[in-house]
Structure 1
Amino acid sequence: MNAPFPSRRPIQVLLATPRGFCAGVDRAIQIVERALEKYGPPVYVRHEIVHNRHVVERLKAMGAVFVTDLDQCPDDRPVVFSAHGVPKAVPAEAKRRELFFLDATCPLVSKVHVEAERHYAAGREIVLIGHAGHPEVIGTMGQLPQAAITLIETVEDAEAFQPRDPDKLAYVTQTTLSVDDTAGIVSALKKRFPGLPDPHKEDICYATTNRQEAVKRVAATCDLVLVVGSQNSSNSQRLVEVALRAGARDARLVDDAGAVDWSWFENVSTVGVTAGASAPEPLIEALVAAIAARFDAEVSEDSGARETVSFKLPRVLAE
């Protein structure tokens, strides 16, 4: 099933731009790398630093130890909190134990946390649009007392939601959602609660939005779109959904070139390639090389947005 095709028939490969690493992911990975350089291994990381198997395995090989809870961390080694953010109880417990910790929460996730706290302080009930169980959602809901935030995942949830006071309501969102899905949920909420205020700045992060827009541009002309990313990556999963909605005949999420089933390429003349915000560029390059090894590939790149955003490292690592 995965054998090369007998003849190198021509195929168009369209690379979506932007794709792969975003500034928040890059910062989080650098925090772990620099902590290992400065303090030596092991450095403990609460939760996967970002949702990519290859990134996690590389950092493990360097001496990072990934854990699910602070109870698994010794008192005398650095601890890094993942890019997705953590409930307030986590740094509070770290301080109580006098652990040395580094917070790799993406600044755009931290912005959502601050926004939720501001609404709570103003006496508003808060709706969080997001996916249950995702670490970012757990972290955001954990910024405030239990029951202060209601999670809404679908338009049906929005239509069934009963606030305590419709005039004292606000919403925030997970940063890695489908832009179109979120717009539908917000529209359903605003239809019921016309006074619902928008965030000061869009909660869905620039990187998620840019990658979805790039996929929309290429997908309509593609027989197949391959998204490089891990199964637990929310933004990568959304890219598959966006590609299908934008007109791709087929779209698949793959960890790497080794996960491709080449039978997918039957009757494919144009394939789009992109990657979630936590997928390294070498994985994309290897996928394109694997396609070129089996086909007479003509590779072109979408002229999408060029991202120049960068985030500062914690001062203790930047010195």
Structure 2
Amino acid sequence: MSTPVITAWSAVSAFGIGRAAFDTGLAAPVGGVAGNADTREVPGFDIRDVLGPRGTRSMDRLTGLTLAAVAELVGEHAAVAEGTDTALVLGTTTGSAQSAMAFTRSSLEAERPFYVDPAVVPNGVMNRAAGQAAIRHRLIGPNTTIAGGRVAALQALQYAGRLLGAGRAGTVLAGGVEELTPARLWLERNSAQGRHGVIGEGGAFFAVTTDARHALADVLAVRSLALAGDDQEKAMRRCVTAALARAGVPAAEVWAVAPGNSTVELFDDAVVIAPEDRLGETGAASGALQLAAVLSTAARTPGAAGRIAVIASVEHGAVVACAVLRLRGRS
């Protein structure tokens, strides 16, 4: 099996819409981000303004952010969507929490439980965003949604490798997206595993293929492990050790690490890349934005070509995941 490679990427985040905005924001000494003291939102993101009026009247924010990220990737790199074998894999938490909760509330408050707006029913389906992206961009390969919370984007990258290895796709657009809505804010502040810091939104997508001619990075290994008990640090060390072994890379060769919400000190001398410090807690988009930050950093760092980067993430109480990349160092 050929090694999967990343050939292009796009992002929407509190830095703005598009890869250029992400690169600029990440490279700035003090990133200008949208939001207030405890939120980080995509600045000026209005679904109809960004995507146009067609098909957006009842579209929810998660779907809008997904379509915007995919449109940026396809728009700048049209070749990634050519042919009939382009797949899409979206990492999410539960789809749009706002849509699901609003629909449930309307069924409880209406005169009859079935007196609900049928136009909003599709928004409550977890794979709504992935399906809409495929329809809009005529991606007729496999279409998959993975609900994994914070590790979902890395699991999407892992799934992309499986699709390529099985010959089910020639190119996979893989990524993760999260919305910032009142429903998600409530869940983050009140659920047992909720986060209480700065809450953000956004997403990123990557063109993954086996054609290495235009590679930005080789995806050497992606691993995920279910947690048994609460020993997250032990599980993460096992995950990273297994991924490095699969990649055939000694720990001493790791140049950069994006630890995300992992509390493990994985590599003493590695460069630490932490976009969440400015973008906030971005849920299912976190792994994708970590990967985007690694690629962005490598592109502007002399000598990054050929170096190794590790990306790690934890969905508290459930799963740990990590990825090992060999960077090509080109923009």
Q: TM-score, normalised by structure 2?
A: 0.28
Q: TM-score, normalised by structure 1?
A: 0.28
Whichever of the two has the greater Rg, that structure is 1
Structure scoring higher RCO (CA < 8 A, sep ≥ 6) equals: 1
